[in-house]
Structure 1
Amino acid sequence: MIDIPTQAAPVLPPFVDLGGTAVFALSGALLAARLNQTFVTCAFFALLTGVGGGSVRDAMLGVPAFWLRDFWVAPVILIMALIAWFTPRKWWDGKWLEWADAVGLAIFCALGTAKALAFDVAPLAAIVLGIVTGCVGGIVRDVIAGVPSILMRPELYVTAAALAASLCAVLILLGVPQGWSMGLAALAGFALRGAAMHWSIELPAYSREVKD
């Protein structure tokens, strides 16, 4: 049986935590705006994307959702929805938002894994919860919107999340301090996601044909 180091649940600096939540919330609100939806839908997609993954993780851990006791999370999500609603669509045509999303993905996957390990979750399950933290909100949002989710696209998104979560778990199990483990894991996940975006790296699709 693997002896998991006992640690306190990780806490990100407020500006990092809120910044990642804001990026995810903005991406959700922008999808609603691009689909010509109402502001209510923008706000709902912002909430779902911003805290969906972390909420599912916390529910599975049996603890209150992280954002329920944080005064700033809900206002930040509402602000992101307002920004998406009142700014011209052409402002978001560039790639910078995708790069910011990559940062949030990597950080939250590492955070989710570290938090799960702090609650004595088995290593592989902790990695799964790390991936859930970074990806589930966006997946549910896409399903509700009726657009292909990240699970149905060949781009390296969930793969980058898995790298960040796995590396974080391995480093913590090896006794590397929690902060360093999260930082190095997030950097690796961001590097893979960034390389995939820059060089259009994709996973191969299943193409085996059945012969009569």
Structure 2
Amino acid sequence: MDRLAATLTVLDYAAVAVFGATGALAAARRKHDIVTFGFFAAVTGVGGGTLRDLLIGAPVFWVARPQYLVVCLVAAAAVWILGPKRFRGSILTWLDAVGMAAYAVVGALKASSLGVPPFSAVVMGVLTATFGGVIRDVLAHEPSVLLQRELYVTPALAGAATFVVLGLMGTPTIPAGIAGFMVALCIRAGAILWKWSLPGFGGPVDADS
């Protein structure tokens, strides 16, 4: 159980940091001030996990451990100090992909560790992975990640499901988590690089799942 808790904590901090950085980068693209950088980073970093905890009836993770917010603020400060010239246009997309893949596993792992049924744990993984990015895009007045042609929810679903199914088969947490992360990241990478998408209802559409 100690190993499970340690794995959850490491993945949680890593995902919060990456998503926090994407929030700060969104603020940078809009040329906001340093306070807004921090706000975007914090809301993006903890948004998905907050929704997860509220839905499963767990204490909201960052309330008792404000160091999660500190991680978001450090990510925002790093983006501010390094400046937009250090970041290529696609870095937000790739950081978001990494954060999404990590949070798909983190969300499913925490839900499973609290006794949430497998199917619901997968849903918690998807919500944890996607909700922070949705909030970020709304605040930045950017097109939502959910409305892109490239797959976004689908990689999170695949990653969370892979982790949960492997856990049910008796696979240790860390190998199952790595597998789930890689599945989500590889599918999302294919969507970014080669515009993978699912068929739309009735033919081509402008939005995707």
Of the three residues 121, 132, 141, the one matched with 1:146 is 141
Shift of 1:72: 3.2
- What is the one-letter code of the residue matched to 2:21? L
Quick one: distance in 2 between partners of 1:185 and 1:156?
16
The match for 1:202 is 197
TM value normalised by structure 2: 0.85
Of the three residues 74, 96, 99, the one matched with 2:69 is 74
Q: Which residue of the partner structure matches residue 34 of structure 2? A: 39
Question: In structure 1, how many angstroms separate the alpha carbons of the residues matched to 2:203 and 2:103?
Answer: 35
User: Does 1:25 find its partner at 2:20?
Assistant: yes
Counterpart of 2:173 in structure 1 is: 178
Q: Distance in 2 between matches of 1:123 and 1:22?
A: 27
> Is the contact between residue 109 and residue 161 of structure 1 (CA under 8 Å) also seen in structure 2?
yes
Identity of aligned residues (%): 37
1:156 is the counterpart of 2:156: no
TM value normalised by structure 1: 0.84
Alignment RMSD = 2.5
Asked if the contact 1:50–1:137 (Cα under 8 Å) also holds between the matched residues in 2, the reply is: yes
In the alignment, structure 1 segments of 5+ residues that lack a partner are 1-5
Structure 2 counterpart SS, 1:175:
coil
C-alpha contact 1:54 1:66 (8 A) present in aligned 2: yes
- Other-structure match for 2:113: 118
Q: Tell me the SS of whatever aligns to 1:93.
A: coil
- Hey, which of these two has a bigger chunk of helix by percent? 2
Question: Which residue in 2 is equivalent to 1:65?
Answer: 60
Give CA deviations for 1:75-96 in whole Å, capped at 9, x if unaligned.
2211221222333322212534
Q: Structure 1: how far apart are the matches of 2:53 and 2:185? A: 23
Find out whether 1:83 has 2:78 as its counterpart: yes
User: Which structure has the larger Rg over C-alpha atoms?
Assistant: 1
| Cα 1:96–1:152 shift into 2, 3 Å | closer
| Counterpart position of 2:43 | 48
Aligned residue pairs, count: 204
Q: Using a 3 Å threshold, how does the CA distance of structure 1 residues 108 and 208 change in structure 2: closer, same or farther?
A: closer
**2:183 aligned residue (179, 188, 191):** 188
Structure 1 counterpart of 2:48, one-letter code = G
1:24 Cα deviation (Å)?
A: 0.7
Tell me the alpha carbon deviations over residues 105-135 of structure 1, each in whole angstroms, 9 at most, x when there is no partner. 2122112112112222122211110011111
CA 1:61–1:91 in structure 2 vs 1: closer, same or farther (change >3 Å)? Answer: same
Unmatched runs of 5 consecutive residues or more in structure 2:
205-209
